[in-house]
Amino acid sequence: MKMIIAIIRPNKLNSVTEALSKEGFPALTEISVRGRGKQKGIRINDMLYDKLPKEMLIIVAKNEDVEKIVSIISTTGKTGNIGDGKIFILNVEENITIRTGERIKE
């Protein structure tokens, strides 16, 4: 199992989550966050906006689904401009369903 963490533009949230759901991946967690990338924010005239609003999606998926999910997020979330976001993929060793106590080890 893998955990996919995607940082995307707020205006892309609905289209990304709808595309994921349409392709059979409705389960996710979304969190509104603020941050900056290597460009250190943006400057408009004399104003520096060093922490920009973003949305973070967290998805835990089977290994065989990771590339499809990454492709959906990348394609749907892309504008082609600086600040489109990042995708991180991490290993998940185990997950536990709180209600049932079911444990799934990878």
Helix (H, G, I), strand (E, B) or coil at 36: coil
Confidence class for position 41, pLDDT limits 50, 70, 90? low
| pLDDT tens-digit map of 63-79 | 999 999 999 999 999 99
Lookup: tokens for 52:
């920009």
Q: What CATH number should be reported for the domain holding residue 93?
A: 3.30.70.120
Residue type, 34: R
Confidence class for position 45, pLDDT limits 50, 70, 90? confident
CA distances from 17 to 43, 45, 97 (A): 30, 34, 23
Name the residue range of residue 45's domain: 2-105
Domains: count for the chain: 1
Share of the chain above pLDDT 70, in %: 97
